[in-house]
Amino acid sequence: MSEDKKVFPTDRTFTLVEVVEGTSPLIAKEPDDTVPTYPHLLLTEAVAALFVLLGLLIASIFFNAPLGELANPLVAENPAKAPWYFLGLQELLLHMHPVFAGVIIPATVLLGLLAVPYFDFGPKGEGVWFSSRRGVGCALLCGGTTLVAIPFALYLSGANPTNAIVVDLKTLALPQLISTGLIPYAAMLLSLTLLYVLCRRLLGASRREALVGVFTALVLGMVILTLTGLYFRGVGWKFFWPWDPTRLLHG
């Protein structure tokens, strides 16, 4: 007891229970920037939830979910479209070997996503959108390039009866898996690598900042392909303007 008093001269109201590694909002309390969860967070959540539900209700009152004719295996839909979130893949399928468009590319994207934190693990840039000014620069550079390059490639392929972008890969004297599979796949990986290197060299970006650029390119690329499938493809999977009345002729 007296020993205790010597070490802790005041009447302490706390006790050291355990030393934990890592952190919690309560560790670096200077200056204290925490707020109580109730009411702050709970009210924000409640209001946000009400808005989402309201929006959903209004949309559901005014717009009916589509319902086509009864399924008929003998009469193909033209165009037969996958659900919208797979339309990017369906667009790739037009230009590439199905093993690559349908399997290897999605698998690469998923594995890439899983791998990101194990290659970019430094704490720098956490908690800030795009990490830094330079991160924004990388996003703009890569995003801008994608916004120009992919529509341009689609335009070239649309002007070509074989859907080829530059050369018709199908005519190369190689197995299809290589000519329309491996070659465009490698070209894609190369473009992304090039964007990465460009961010690093040209903008002096860190690994994380350059990754922000590559991710932007990837996401925008998928968005563009998806929108193309959704609004610019019609009968026979040909290009149409979204407002062209002949675009979707069912049955």
Partner 1 sequence: MSRTLPGRIWRSIYRQPFADEEREGARVINDSLLMHLHPVKLRRHGLSITYTFGLGGISFLLFIVLTVTGVLLMFQYLPTTEQAYADIQRLSGEVFLGQLLRNMHRWAAHAMVLAVFLHMCRAFFTGSYKPPRSFNWAVGVGLLVLTLLLSFTGYLLPWDQLAFWAITVGTNIAGYAPLVGRALRSFLLDGIVVGQGALLRFYVLHVVVLPLVLALLVGLHFWRVRKDGGISGPPLPGGGHE
User: Which residues does residue 63 pair with via DSSP β-bridges, in sequence order?
Assistant: none
d(CA 143, CA 137): 10
Does 186 engage in binding with partner 1 (CB under 8 A)? no
> Which one, 44 or 160, has the nearer CB to partner 1?
44
Does 9 sit near partner 1 (CB under 8 A)? no
Q: Which is nearer to partner 1, 17 or 71 (CB)?
A: 71
Q: Does 2 participate in binding partner 1 (rule CB under 8 A)? A: no
Number of residues lying near partner 1 (CB under 8 A): 84
Report if residue 85 touches partner 1, rule: CB under 8 A.
Answer: yes
Output 134 or 208, the one with its CB closest to partner 1: 208
Which of 122-130, 147-155, 164-172, 197-205 is the region at the interface with partner 1 (rule: CB under 8 A)? 122-130
Q: Tell me which of 89, 165, 169, 182 binds partner 1, using CB under 8 A.
A: 89
| Residue 17 near partner 1 by CB under 8 A | no
Q: Is 152 in the site for partner 1 (CB under 8 A)?
A: no
Q: Which is nearer to partner 1, 213 or 232 (CB)?
A: 213
Measured CA to CA, the distance from residue 230 to residue 79 in angstroms comes to: 11
Among 5, 12, 35, 162, binds partner 1 (CB under 8 A): 35
Rounded CA-CA distance 157/149 in Å is 12
Rounded Cα gap, residues 167 and 184, in angstroms: 11
Q: How many CB atoms lie within 10 A of CB 91?
A: 25
Of 100, 68, 97, 65, residue with least CA distance to 81: 68
The residue with tokens 């994207």 is 109
> Which pair of tokens denotes residue 72?
């008929």
Least distance between partner 1 and beta carbon 245 (Å): 19
Using the rule CB under 8 A, is 76 a contact of partner 1?
yes
133 binds partner 1 (CB under 8 A): no
By the 8 A CB rule, do 90 and 82 touch?
yes
Under the binding rule (CB under 8 A), the answer on residue 7 touching partner 1 is: no
Q: Considering the rule CB under 8 A, would residue 70 count as an interface residue with partner 1?
A: yes
DSSP codes joined into one string, 182-240? IHHHHHHHHHHHHHHHHHHHHS---HHHHHHHHHHHHHHHHHHHHHIIIIIB-GGG-B-
* Residue 15 or 64 with smaller CB distance to partner 1: 64
Given the complex with partner 1, which of 116 and 194 has the nearer CB atom? 116
146 binds partner 1, rule: CB under 8 A: no
* Of the candidates 199, 70, 56, 228, the residue with the CA atom closest to the CA atom of residue 137: 199
β-strand partners of 233:
239
Positions in 45-64 near partner 1 (CB under 8 A): 45, 48-49, 52-53, 56-57, 59-61, 63-64
